[in-house]
Chains A and B, each alone.
Chain A
Amino acid sequence: MTTTTSKAMIRFEDLRQEFTLTGNTFTALDGVSLDIADGEFVTVVGPSGCGKSTMLNAAAGLLDPTSGRVMVDDREVDGPSTRTGVIFQQYALFPWLTVRKNVEFGLELKKVPAKERRVIVDHYLELVGLTRFAEALPKELSGGMKQRCAIARAYAVNPEILLMDEPFGALDALTRVHMQEQLLKTWTQERRTVMFVTHDVDESVFLASRVIVMAARPGRIFKEIKIDLPYPRTEEMRLSDEFARLRTQVWEAVYHQPGVAEAHQ
């Protein structure tokens, strides 16, 4: 692919993240270094608990690294920024706000005028297929619908960087494919920098120009796999030999890394 060596938009520099729980120190990330170029689409896969969400939260400025740092656009991250949109693994919708009000939240904080807000919210509700549920409360939505609402909320503020933590995890296969295509479509148009965490090997290959495979205990980057499939990605590509080869490569990196086999038996 055309990875014209542009500058790093997100740069993890020897990041180490420890958590202290009831006196025990736990190393969630150890020596993570990674550059994500401006406009690049990177997916992160790895076994559960290997620190994918931790890495994403660090990039979002929600953590205080034990050592090392994360740079965004050459500036050290020391707190959340509206340049960075985050879709959380647990949706994190405000349960007391309707779907519309949830999507509108960030726009209100940005002081976007009401009329404009309405247009933007309508657009993104349409995109995620929640127009009919605009006035529903989160408790009335299914898991997949909650996730779509969270996606619309993150998209609505139009961030330059998207950090997505298993955003399609709760969707059925059909909606999932649809959302993947929509995401890639907007990405090819706008070229935002995307860091996308997933459990799904197929998804990681289909979306990314580079797959980062992580290992657990301590969480670290195990392997990087370049995906040399051209964009726009098409449905036929999913069936191609090249795709199958890459999928196998990622699969083996995820499931045949040292320690995984024992841990899951």
Chain B
Amino acid sequence: MAAKDTYIAVETPPLASGSPAPENSQQKPKPASRKSPATSGRKLGRKALLAINFGSVAAGLGAWTALSAAGVVGLPGPVEVLIRAGEVFADGTLAEDTGASLARVLSGFLLGSLLAVPVGFLMGWYQVGRAIIEPWVQFFRTIPPLALLPLVMVTMGIGETPKIFVIFLAAFLSCVISTYQGVVSVDKTLINAARVLGADSMIIFRRVVVPASSPFILVGMRIGLGAGWATVVAAELIAAPNGLGMRMQQAQQFYDMPTILVNVIVIGILGLLMDRLLLMIEAHLTRWQERR
């Protein structure tokens, strides 16, 4: 699922120690996680690929049906799950849980990204800022946000605050590093070009550094959203009055497999949708970039 590969992506951009880019680097280094080109030789048409996608999903559903029909581990079939989905949809619990989880993710994510962008700029733009912030970011980056949950719950109680806080942290950390990377890799000749045209630091920042690092920021936000989504579900497993994660936890106590599966699927679909949405925004905002 989305969250998994995003964690790998967090690892990839090493925190370079502001070394100057090679002089003739007209092309910008592109942020890591972009659609990788088709690796195998022959190119298939869009339609053919889409057909294969559908075939694959259909085959998966078929296998699932077969498994449940064979009575493996008491797995309920797709139809049963669909019926259960209809029920929780009708009685409003699905909407409530989805709303609660989404609200947590979005508030944590927005707060995290909102803070990450200025902090990332501070790190990239001022050496002193970097020297102050970098050790903290590097340290907290190595701790999975969820591992902080017990501590956060002890200090902040079991209300909404600790959950939003860990999501905030997850989103903040991935976005701040990306933003910082973006700022330090801004092509020096672009800054010089602006300077000789009369730009002062404020204008250089606004009109060169911000747009030049926007692709990095957007990738960071995407990773942050994935991390936030992964974190919320787990946070709700521990203690929450509602939410998709909490509902699964509750259902587990009653061996209510259909409910668990409904929630798992909703989590997957929502994660995918949010990622696609940000990807579209990103593609739109950075269409000036030269793609390889």
Contacts and interface: CB of A to CB of B under 8 A. Distances in A.
A binds B: yes
Contacts of A96: 211-212, 214, 288
A71 B127 CA distance: 31
B196 A85 contact: yes
Interface string A93-106: 11111000000011
Given A95-B289, A109-B199, A90 B26 contact: yes
A86 interface: yes
A82 B288 contact: no
A93 B203 CA distance: 16
B52 to A, nearest CB: 31
B197 A92 contact: no
B28 interface: yes
B290 A139 contact: yes
Contacts of B195: 62, 79-80
A138 B28 CA distance: 13
Contacts of B290: 95, 139
B194 interface: yes
Interface string B27-68: 010000000000000000000000000000000000000000
B189 A95 contact: no
A110 to B, nearest CB: 6
B4 to A, nearest CB: 32
Contact of A137 (B198, B212, B288): B288
Nearest to B189: A92
Nearest to B20: A21
Contacts of B23: 90
B111 to A, nearest CB: 27
Task: Output the residue of A57, A60, A105, A138 with the most chain B CB within 10 A.
Answer: A105
Nearest to A84: B196
A235 B7 CA distance: 64
B196 A86 contact: yes
A91 interface: yes
B190 interface: yes
A94 B187 CA distance: 10
Contact of B192 (A62, A97, A105, A157): A62
A153 interface: yes
Interface in B191-247: 192-199, 203, 207-208, 211-212, 214
B253 interface: no
Say what secondary structure dominates the interface of chain A: loop
A66 to B, nearest CB: 17
A139 B211 CA distance: 15
Nearest to B19: A22
B155 interface: no
A157 B197 contact: yes
B67 to A, nearest CB: 49
B12 interface: no
Contacts of A95: 28, 288-290
Contact of B208 (A61, A88, A94, A138): A94
Nearest to A85: B196
Contacts of A157: 197-198
B197 A109 contact: yes
Given A94-B208, A95-B28, A96-B211, A153 B197 contact: yes
B197 A94 contact: no
Nearest to A107: B197
B142 interface: no
B190 A94 contact: yes
A153 B195 CA distance: 13
A110 B198 contact: yes
A60 B208 contact: no
Contacts of A60: 192, 196
Contacts of A81: 196
Contacts of A86: 192-193, 196
A94 B196 contact: no
Given A88-B189, A90-B23, A91-B26, A105 B288 contact: no
24 contacts: A57-B192, A60-B196, A62-B192, A80-B196, A82-B197, A85-B196, A86-B193, A89-B24, A90-B26, A92-B187, A92-B190, A93-B193, A94-B211, A95-B288, A96-B214, A96-B288, A97-B288, A106-B198, A109-B197, A109-B198, A137-B287, A138-B288, A153-B197, A157-B198
Interface of A: 57, 60-62, 79-82, 84-86, 88-97, 105-106, 109-110, 137-139, 153, 157
Given A84-B196, A92-B189, 12 more contacts: A86-B192, A91-B26, A92-B193, A93-B193, A94-B193, A94-B194, A94-B208, A95-B288, A109-B203, A139-B290, A157-B197, A157-B198
